[in-house]
Structure 1
Amino acid sequence: MTEPIISVTDLGIQFRRNKARRRSFKDLFAGRKRRARPNQFWAFRNLTFDVAPGEAIGVVGRNGQGKSTLLKLVAGVILPDEGRVRVGAGVAPLIEITGGFVSDLSVRDNVYLTAGLHGMSKAEVAARFDEIIDFAEIQDFVDTPYKHLSSGMKVRIAFSVIAQLDEPVILVDEVLAVGDKSFREKCYRRIDELLSAGRTLFFVSHNERDLRRFCSRGLYLDKGKLVLDGPIGEVLDRYNEDYNNPTS
């Protein structure tokens, strides 16, 4: 039996929210302000599943059901409160991809910095630098401070850097929802290439077309639970049925 590349066991994570107390008439007359009381809630609990090398998994669910949080746990960005996540290989995280760039540094310096933080040597970055810039289509802005780029240009260079990583696991969180049509198509082709090379994809999206295109299997999260783990078509059908016929 093939060893899973991602193994999730009884996974759970808590967050804290502030729950305001209702103001009484006494509070109103006394001019008292509401006091926030801390209140913890589980984003999800008891998640258990394995991902085999080369699988393409789509994670679906309504907003606020923990999809992006799950990706961050797999990436090691945050730690669980219960259970464990074991990832048997390096990850290339397309999650909040512009977050690690430094505004005052040039595009060139940011490419070297970001790729270096993800484990590429200076020589490796230099060898791939032109390819990164050409893919992002920002040849005329290499020495421009990153903060002066448009939002679309920032996404292009960030995707281009991360897509050059040789890590076996690719984590994608809605990044394909941004950028113009031609660049999205270029991103699609790049992901197709990575999947053809045997990479493992863990993909969060609300775009049903993208999920059906890239993924063979789906995970449906709802109300803190893994509702369904199965073929992507069945998972999307169940999600759409629940979405169109809410019970609460």
Structure 2
Amino acid sequence: MAVQTATPPTIIVEGASKYFLRRNSHSFKEAFIGWLQKKKVRTDQFLALDDISFQVGEGESVAILGMNGSGKSTTLKLVSGVLEPDGGRVLTRGRVAGLIEVGAGFHPDLSGRENVYLNAAILGMSRKETDEKFDDIVAFSEIGDFIDQEVKHYSSGMFMRLAFSVAIHVNLDTLLVDEVLSVGDAPFRAKCAQKIKELTARGVTMLVVSHDMNMVQELCSRGIVISKGKMIFDGPITDAVELLRS
């Protein structure tokens, strides 16, 4: 049973299903030999998400939990618009900023500075808005002089810090976070968690996927547990974490 939100919904997921093709040829060599012999590579559909329904109210912080392969990240990608559902529908209201993958949207041959403007534009910020917030973005990211270096030379932690910093400085309504806060040192993770708390206090909606049970209990009040593509729980975060740990 899906939880009824106390505030107007920012995210609505209704009966969402998602299929992926699963190929039964196990290697490129086998596929190539099959092609030479004019054999068809067998494919079948894998149901990654099966009739998922939930709503997230304005200003709510909700964690999507589950074991590897359960469908957590697929759910987040449907909400972000990276993927489209094969069944049902997914609706969002307002400006959505997604940290789905570390460095997603970054061009490796551009500098950190150029990528700040590129990512800000993708997230809907004007050049003027980015100009006004640029110094704050760089300061929060702790990139320093590396801001003018090509990002292909960045570590995964530097990628994450800059991507997160851009996203949180957007005038956003919803923030989507998928495991990227697990990258980086403890002080920066603590700073990110504090920033998320400030955003939610301002009414920003947050949907997060993470295996860090301590972090989600600190940041979220509600948990949705997915198992093998099906939603099996939607309720208080402490109960969701206990269910997953059991």
TM-score normalised over the length of structure 1: 0.88
CA distance in 2, matches of 1:46, 1:143: 46
Secondary structure at 1:85's aligned position in 2?
strand
CA distance in 2, matches of 1:87, 1:113: 23
- Please name the residue that 2:63 is paired with: 58
- Please name the residue that 1:127 is paired with: 132
- Please name the residue that 2:46 is paired with: 41
Larger radius of gyration: 1
Secondary structure at 1:8's aligned position in 2?
strand
Contact kept, 8 Å, 1:59 with 1:203, in 2: the verdict is: yes
- Please name the residue that 1:159 is paired with: 164
Equivalences for residues 121-200 of structure 1 within 5 A:
121-200=126-205
Residue identity opposite 1:115 in structure 2: A
Secondary structure at 1:157's aligned position in 2?
helix
Contact kept, 8 Å, 1:20 with 1:35, in 2: the verdict is: no
Runs (4+) of structure 1 exceeding 6 A deviation are none
- Please name the residue that 2:91 is paired with: 86
- Please name the residue that 1:244 is paired with: none
* Residue 221 of structure 2, aligned match among 196, 216, 226: 216
Q: How far is 1:3 from its partner?
A: 2.9
Secondary structure at 1:5's aligned position in 2?
strand
Q: Which runs of 5+ in 1 are unaligned?
A: 22-31, 242-248
Contact kept, 8 Å, 2:49 with 2:75, in 1: the verdict is: no
Residue identity opposite 2:120 in structure 1: A
Contact kept, 8 Å, 2:71 with 2:228, in 1: the verdict is: no
Contact kept, 8 Å, 1:47 with 1:225, in 2: the verdict is: yes
* Residue 112 of structure 1, aligned match among 114, 117, 138: 117
- Please name the residue that 1:4 is paired with: 9
Deviation per CA, 1:49-95: give whole Å up to 9, x if none: 11111111111101001100100100111100000011122211111
CA distance in 2, matches of 1:134, 1:201: 23
Q: How far is 1:150 from its partner?
A: 2.4
Q: How far is 1:35 from its partner?
A: 6.6
Q: How far is 1:233 from its partner?
A: 0.8
Contact kept, 8 Å, 1:60 with 1:204, in 2: the verdict is: yes
State percent identity of aligned pairs: 45
Deviates more, 1:146-155 or 1:213-222: 146-155
Q: How far is 1:117 from its partner?
A: 1.3
Deviation per CA, 1:132-162: give whole Å up to 9, x if none: 1111112212221121222221221111111
- Please name the residue that 2:104 is paired with: 99
| Distance 1:109-1:20 versus aligned 2 partners, 3 A rule | closer
CA distance in 2, matches of 1:36, 1:187: 46
Secondary structure at 1:198's aligned position in 2?
coil
TM-score normalised over the length of structure 2: 0.89
Residue identity opposite 1:62 in structure 2: M
CA distance in 2, matches of 1:150, 1:221: 32
Secondary structure at 2:194's aligned position in 1?
helix
Contact kept, 8 Å, 2:61 with 2:205, in 1: the verdict is: yes
CA distance in 1, matches of 2:148, 2:241: 44
CA distance in 2, matches of 1:166, 1:73: 21
Q: Which runs of 5+ in 2 are unaligned?
A: 1-5, 27-36
